[in-house]
C-alpha cells in the first residue's frame, strides 16, 4: 500500500539517480514531496496579446500555429526547431533548441497557450523555448502554475509531474485530519488534504489563499503544541540556590569595564540564580556586544556555590574559542575547565567524563565546554548547576532539551549573537526571560558598508591589494562550496505572482579561492567550508588567526567563527542570496580590532536585474547598523526561517527542529495568535492530548518523541 511514508522511488520514472537528486532537496518520501511547497506561481491565466506582452517578464499568450515547424541542424550536432504563430496583434517566431521530437506537436492551425518571455525587435516578436499547452474553447488550463525550488537533476516539469502523481496516489488513502473538528468548523478551514492539493494546484487566487490560510494555521498550531511539550521537558521543579560569592575576583581580571547593559544583564542573571526555581533566561545581543562575559559571570557564580556548568557551542571553532578565552580567565581563579569535542581522543574523553562525575571537589571539572559531544551517552555531572547554550538559534529545541536533561534541576542560560525580534522570541522561547544587551563596548568601530556589482570588480581588487599592503586581512564569503551548487531559496509568498528575476551563477569557494590566488600572488589564499574535516578547518582557521593567510575564502561557516582582530575587510559575494541577519553576522566578523574596517556586498548581477526585495535588503545593510532593527526588517522580509535553523549553505536544518514552511510572523500575526490560543486551550483541557492521537503522532515526530 502506498502511503505518505513510501519512498519517492514508487513514482513512475524515479530510479536511483532521480531519488538521489530529490534527496538533495530533503525529499525522501511522498510526504516530503507534498510538503515541498511552491515558492511562487506563474500567473498563466492572465492572457495577453503579443503587442501587449510584458517587457520585464514572462507572459501567457494564446497563439495559432501559422507555419510548419522546420528543423535546422548545425555542424556542432545541435539543432533548433522553428515555426511561426500569430494572434490578432502580430506574428511571432518560436524556437526550440535540440528538441526535434516537437516537430509533430505543432500542426498548422492548432492553438496553444504559450508561456515565456517575448522578445520584440521593431514589429517582429520572438519566443525561445516557451512552455506550450494545447488550447481549445472550454479547455480549463490551470491559471496558476506552481514554481518549486529545484536542484541539479530535477526540472520544474519533472517535479510538477511527480507532485501530480503523488497527489493522485495518496488520494486513494485519504489523509486523516489531525485538527479537531470543532477548530476546523470554528475557522471555516479546508480539510488538510484538500488544502495541500489546492496549494500545489490552486483554481484561482482566492482558492490559493484559503489553502494557505489552513496550512499556515496548522504550522503555527503544531509549533505551539510542540514548543509546549519541549518546555515541559526542560522545566524542573527546583534548582540549586546560587547566592553566595562576589563578582569582584572575576571582574578585576578584565582589561575593560563592563557596559551598563552588561551590568544590568548580569544582575538579572544573578537574581535568577539566587532563587530555588530554575533560571530560564536568554541573552540577546548584537554582534560583539559582550554576551560571553555575562555567561562567564553566571558560570563563576555557580562554581562559587559548589556546582558545575556546561557550555555548548554549535561548531568546534566556536567551542575552541570559548575554551581558549574562558580557560585563560578561569585558570587564574582556580576553576577547572575542560574541552570535550567529537574529535577529542577516546582516552581523554574517558578522563573528562570521570572528572565530571568525581565526588571530590578538588578533582572535579567545574566547567566543560564542547559541541554536540556534550549530548553523548556517558556525559554526566556530579553537581550540575548551569547549562549555557551559545548561538541559540543554531540549536534545535530537541537538542537544548537533551542538554538540559543531562543535569536535572539545573539553571538554563541561552545566548544568541543574532538579535531576535521580540515577537519571534516570545513564540520560540515563551518560557524564557529575555535579557537584552543593546549597548556596544567602548572602542568598537562602525564597519562602513558598500554595495557594488560586477562592474566594480577591478576597483574592489585594488582595494583588497591596499588592505593587504597595510597589513590587514580579508574575508571573502561565497554562498556555495563548489561549482553548480545551488543555495536554498526561501519560500517567499510576498511575491507569489511576480517571482524575482533569474538569479546569476553562484560564486563557489573552492574555485574562487584558486582564482584569487592568481590575482593576489603577494599573499596566501586559504579556503574554509563545512565539508572539510575538523582538523583541516582548525588548521586553516589557526593559520588565518596567526596572520599566515591574507585572504580567507569561506562559506558562512565563519559566520560564528573565531575572533580575528586583524581582519579589516569582509567581502560577501552574491550578497543578494543572503538574509539580512546573516549579512549582519558576517559583517560582525570584522571591526574587532583597532583597524578601520569595511564590508563590501557584491551582487551577482547588475542593479537593474535585482528584484525589489533584494535591493531593499541590501539598502538596509548599507544604511543600518542596529542589529535589532535589522532583525525586525529580516523578519518582515523573509519570515522566521533564519532564526529557527541555520540557512547557511554548509548547514542542514537540524533534525527535530520545528520549522515554518509557509507562515510569516510579520504577515500572519492574526493566524499565529489564533493558533497559539487554540493550542493553549486544547492543552488546558487535554494536557497529554489523550483524546487527540493524530496530534500526538504529529508532534512526537516533529519533536523527536519529546512529547509525554
Between 321 and 653, name the one with better pLDDT. Answer: 321
Structural domains in the chain, sorted by start:
8-41+153-200 (no CATH), 45-141 (2.40.50.140), 248-437 (3.40.50.300), 448-644 (3.40.50.300)
Mapped onto helix, strand or coil, the DSSP state of residue 241 is coil
pLDDT in the model for residue 286:
75
| pLDDT category of residue 647 using cuts at 50, 70 and 90 | very low
pLDDT in the model for residue 707:
54
| pLDDT category of residue 471 using cuts at 50, 70 and 90 | very high
Taking residues 294-310, what's their average pLDDT? 96
Query: 654 pLDDT exceeds 50?
Result: no
pLDDT in the model for residue 426:
58
How many CB atoms are closer than 10 A to CB 451? 22
pLDDT in the model for residue 239:
85
* CA atoms of 395 and 312, how far apart (whole Å): 10
Query: 503 pLDDT exceeds 60?
Result: no
What does the buried/exposed string (b/e) look like for 118-152 if buried means 16 or more CB atoms within 10 Å of the residue's CB? beeeeeebebebbbbeebeeeeeeebbbbbbbbbe
What's the gap between Cα 541 and its chain centre? 24
**How much of the chain is helix, strand and coil, in % rounded to 5?**
40, 20, 40
Taking residues 520-525, what's their average pLDDT? 96
Cα distances from 84 to residues 12, 63, 174, 363, 457, in angstroms, run 35, 9, 46, 86, 42
Whole-number average pLDDT of the chain: 83
Place of cell 556517558: 378
pLDDT in the model for residue 480:
75
* CA atoms of 357 and 54, how far apart (whole Å): 70
Q: Cell for 644?
A: 529557527
Cα distances from 421 to residues 428, 446, 506, 681, in angstroms, run 11, 22, 30, 26
High-pLDDT (> 90) share of the chain, %: 49
pLDDT in the model for residue 490:
33
Taking residues 207-227, what's their average pLDDT? 89
* CA atoms of 51 and 92, how far apart (whole Å): 10
Cα distances from 213 to residues 316, 507, 642, in angstroms, run 41, 37, 22
Taking residues 362-386, what's their average pLDDT? 88
Taking residues 22-45, what's their average pLDDT? 92
Between 7 and 277, name the one with better pLDDT. Answer: 7
Query: 605 pLDDT exceeds 70?
Result: no
Query: 625 pLDDT exceeds 60?
Result: yes
Q: What is the CA radius of gyration of the chain?
A: 28
Query: 389 pLDDT exceeds 90?
Result: no
Query: 497 pLDDT exceeds 50?
Result: no
Query: 43 pLDDT exceeds 80?
Result: yes
Amino acid at each position: 500500500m502506498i502511503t505518505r511514508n513510501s519512498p519517492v522511488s514508487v513514482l513512475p520514472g524515479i530510479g536511483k539517480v532521480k531519488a538521489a537528486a530529490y534527496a538533495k532537496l530533503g525529499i525522501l518520501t511522498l510526504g516530503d514531496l507534498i510538503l515541498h511547497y511552491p515558492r511562487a506561481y506563474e500567473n498563466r491565466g492572465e492572457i495577453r496579446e503579443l503587442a501587449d506582452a510584458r517587457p520585464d517578464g514572462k507572459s501567457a499568450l494564446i497563439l495559432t500555429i501559422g507555419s510548419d515547424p522546420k528543423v535546422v541542424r548545425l555542424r556542432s550536432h545541435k539543432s533548433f526547431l522553428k515555426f511561426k504563430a500569430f494572434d490578432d496583434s502580430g506574428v511571432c517566431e518560436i524556437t526550440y533548441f535540440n528538441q526535434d521530437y516537437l516537430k509533430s506537436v505543432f500542426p498548422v492551425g492548432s492553438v496553444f497557450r504559450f508561456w515565456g518571455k517575448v522578445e520584440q525587435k521593431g514589429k517582429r516578436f520572438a519566443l525561445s523555448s516557451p512552455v506550450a499547452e494545447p488550447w481549445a474553447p472550454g479547455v480549463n488550463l490551470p491559471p496558476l502554475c506552481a514554481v518549486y525550488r529545484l536542484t541539479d537533476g530535477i526540472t520544474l516539469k519533472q517535479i510538477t509531474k511527480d507532485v501530480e502523481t503523488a497527489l493522485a496516489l495518496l488520494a486513494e488513502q485519504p489523509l486523516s485530519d489531525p485538527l479537531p473538528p470543532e477548530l476546523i468548523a470554528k475557522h471555516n478551514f479546508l480539510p488538510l488534504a484538500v488544502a495541500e492539493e489546492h496549494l500545489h494546484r490552486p483554481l484561482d487566487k482566492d482558492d490559493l489563499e484559503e489553502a494557505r490560510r489552513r496550512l499556515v494555521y496548522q504550522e503555527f498550531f503544531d509549533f505551539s503544541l510542540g514548543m509546549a511539550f519541549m518546555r515541559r521537558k526542560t522545566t524542573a521543579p527546583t534548582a540549586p540556590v546560587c547566592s553566595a560569592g562576589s563578582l569582584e575576583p572575576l571582574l578585576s581580571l578584565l582589561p575593560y569595564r563592563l557596559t551598563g547593559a552588561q551590568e544590568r544583564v548580569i544582575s538579572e542573571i544573578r537574581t535568577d540564580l539566587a532563587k530555588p526555581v530554575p533560571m530560564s533566561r536568554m541573552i540577546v545581543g548584537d554582534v560583539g556586544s559582550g554576551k560571553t562575559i555575562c555567561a562567564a559571570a553566571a558560570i563563576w557564580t555557580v562554581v562559587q556555590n559548589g556546582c558545575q556548568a556546561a557550555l555548548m557551542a554549535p561548531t568546534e571553532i566556536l567551542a575552541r574559542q570559548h575554551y581558549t578565552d574562558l580557560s585563560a580567565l578561569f585558570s587564574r581563579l582556580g576553576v577547572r575547565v575542560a574541552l570535550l569535542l567529537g574529535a577529542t581522543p577516546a582516552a581523554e574523553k574517558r578522563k573528562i567524563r570521570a572528572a565530571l562525575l568525581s565526588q571530590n571537589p578538588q578533582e572535579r571539572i567545574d566547567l566543560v565546554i564542547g559541541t554536540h559531544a556534550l549530548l553523548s551517552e556517558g556525559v554526566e555531572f556530579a553537581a550540575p548547576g548551569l547549562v549555557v547554550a551559545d548561538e541559540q538559534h543554531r540549536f534545535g529545541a530537541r537538542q537544548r532539551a537533551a542538554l538540559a536533561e543531562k543535569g536535572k534541576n539545573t539553571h538554563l542560560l541561552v545566548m544568541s549573537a543574532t538579535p531576535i525580534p521580540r515577537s519571534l522570541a516570545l513564540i520560540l522561547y515563551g518560557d524564557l526571560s529575555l535579557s537584552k544587551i543593546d549597548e556596544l563596548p567602548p572602542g568598537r568601530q562602525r564597519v562602513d558598508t558598500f554595495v557594488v556589482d560586477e562592474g566594480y570588480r577591478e576597483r574592489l581588487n585594488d582595494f583588497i591589494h591596499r588592505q593587504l599592503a597595510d597589513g590587514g586581512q580579508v574575508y571573502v564569503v561565497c554562498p556555495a562550496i563548489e561549482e553548480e551548487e545551488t543555495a536554498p531559496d526561501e519560500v517567499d509568498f510576498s511575491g507569489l505572482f511576480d517571482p524575482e528575476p533569474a538569479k546569476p551563477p553562484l560564486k563557489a569557494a573552492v574555485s574562487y579561492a584558486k582564482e584569487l590566488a592568481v590575482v593576489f600572488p603577494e599573499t596566501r589564499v586559504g579556503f574554509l567550508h563545512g565539508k572539510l574535516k575538523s582538523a583541516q578547518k582548525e588548521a586553516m582557521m589557526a593559520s588565518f588567526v596567526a596572520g599566515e593567510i591574507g585572504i580567507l575564502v569561506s562559506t558562512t561557516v565563519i559566520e560564528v567563527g573565531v575572533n580575528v582582530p586583524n581582519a579589516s575587510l569582509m567581502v560577501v559575494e552574491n550578497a543578494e542570496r543572503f538574509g539580512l541577519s546573516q549579512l549582519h553576522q558576517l559583517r560582525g566578523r570584522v571591526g574587532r580590532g583597532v583597524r578601520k574596517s569595511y564590508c563590501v556586498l557584491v551582487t551577482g548581477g547588475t542593479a537593474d536585474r535585482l528584484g525589489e526585495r533584494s535591493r531593499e535588503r541590501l539598502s538596509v545593510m548599507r544604511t543600518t547598523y542596529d542589529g535589532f532593527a535589522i532583525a525586525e526588517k529580516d523578519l518582515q522580509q523573509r519570515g522566521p526561517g533564519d532564526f529557527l535553523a541555520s540557512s547557511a549553505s554548509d548547514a542542514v536544518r537540524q533534525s527535530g527542529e520545528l520549522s515554518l514552511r509557509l507562515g510569516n510572523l510579520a504577515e500572519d500575526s492574526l493566524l499565529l495568535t489564533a493558533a497559539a490560543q487554540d493550542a493553549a486551550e486544547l492543552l488546558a483541557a487535554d494536557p497529554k492530548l489523550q483524546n487527540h492521537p493524530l496530534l500526538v503522532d504529529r508532534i512526537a515526530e516533529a519533536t523527536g518523541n519529546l512529547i509525554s
